[in-house]
Amino acid sequence: MSQAGFELTEILYLKAHLSQGIINKLLETWSATLIPYGDLPPITDHQDLHTQINAIKLGNVPWRSYTAQYQWLRPESGPIPEWMEAQYQLWYRNPRQVIHHIFANPEFASGIDYAPHHDFQDENGDWAWDQCDIIAVDSTTHGSMFVPIILGTNKTTVSVATGQHAFHPIYLSVGNMHNRIWRAHKDALVLISFLPIPKGTWEDMKDEIFRDFHCRLFHGSLMVINDTIKPYMQRWDLIRCPDHHFCRAIYGLGPYIADYPEQSVAAGTVYGCCDADPTDLDNSAAEFRTWEQMMILLKTEDDDTLWFGYRMVPDFRLFTTHFPRADIYELLTPDLLHQVIKGMYKDHLVTWVEEYLEITYGSSRGSQILDEVDRRSVSWFGDLICQKHTQSMSREGTT
């Protein structure tokens, strides 16, 4: 793309926000003006505009794709659910290359830590310090810089795609950066993937097989995405730092930022359940879970004991078990929105309505009504936005 084409694309797509019809009419008029002089505009129509946008390389780290599909038991009779036949495409970028690009940015030179700080006031705040102690024990990694990889997911930041897929993005950053760098939005937080999530009906969501596949697809995708950094969790990788010096780096999965529903999937725990006594939350004897405890339980306990006794989802691997320097129980962060606000107000009301519909109309009909409520809610919300916009324009005297 020429410089003129790039600048014209930026004006039409990012600044003017013109419709496809107006873009076509504008470029058609421009072309008719230039043709007598043997010239053409750098862009011919809206399709050429989108083609040139798609050809732009983002940060010189190309996108890859990986396709997955359900491959286990299918119904012996009756129709096969659509989600079993669908193909789920994972799009992602090489996280190791993304990390190299972050560290190579000279603007971060004054806002980066090459060694962790010890917090003497918080006995639970020394995770990075403890990781460096482990690195120092091995003579082959001694002296290497520890790079905590921060992952964040949030399905609500993108719209639901067509068909059976609901994509939600994964963002990556590194824990070495100072908070002011993140707050300045200077490319220290990078989009690296879109997770493919099977979208089912309310009836599908009650199916144990569907829920199991949902979990397997989630964890399998995270394994594929982060596979390129796995070797460098045990041996050092050479990184060019913002001060133009080269450092040896050891990677480790750091804080995992997600809302509570995704945290349950990531940790393999039963949604909405807790080991702590609900009547004694302040002084409960329940302890933090550990990776070692989880592995022992998976090997020694049956599925019912895991589910009802320890609130663990049996029979699938967490993505962190694929990596030598990762423990999901150490990495989860608090989620104020879902654990307090939605947990106390919204979810109680929604759960009550769901139970009422199931008792009144039965499980199958109740699920159909809930699907219809979802569709009507989207339509109602869209009509409400249009109504509010029209009222606002009327008050301003515009048409």
Q: What is the pLDDT of residues 31-68, one digit of tens each?
A: 887 766 667 778 888 888 877 776 665 556 888 888 88
Instruction: Please state whether beta strands 87-93 and 190-198 pair in parallel, antiparallel, or not at all (unpaired).
Output: antiparallel
Grade residue 343 by pLDDT with cuts at 50, 70 and 90. Answer: low
Q: pTM for the whole thing? A: 0.67
Mean pLDDT of 285-309: 77
What pLDDT does residue 283 have?
58
What pLDDT does residue 395 have?
45
Mean pLDDT of 257-265: 83
Instruction: Please state whether beta strands 87-93 and 145-153 pair in parallel, antiparallel, or not at all (unpaired).
Output: unpaired
Of 332, 328, 331, 294, nearest in space to 310 by CA: 294
Grade residue 184 by pLDDT with cuts at 50, 70 and 90. Answer: confident
What pLDDT does residue 163 have?
44
Q: Which residue has better confidence, 239 or 336?
A: 239
What pLDDT does residue 373 have?
75
What pLDDT does residue 260 have?
79
Where do the DSSP E strands lie in the chain?
63-69, 87-93, 145-153, 165-174, 190-198, 237-240, 246-257
CA max distance for the chain: 84
Least confident among 18-27, 70-79, 376-385? 376-385
- The angle subtended at Cα 208 by Cα 207 and Cα 212, nearest 5°, is 120
68 pairs with which residues across the strands? 88
Q: Which residue has better confidence, 118 or 158?
A: 118
Can you state the percent helix, strand and coil of the chain, rounding each to 5? 50, 15, 35
Contact assessment for residue 105 and residue 187, using Cβ atoms and an 8 Å cutoff: yes
Tens of pLDDT, residue by residue over 65-75, are 888 888 877 87
Q: Is 239 in a helix, a strand, or coil? A: strand
Cα of first residue to Cα of last residue in the chain, in angstroms, is 38
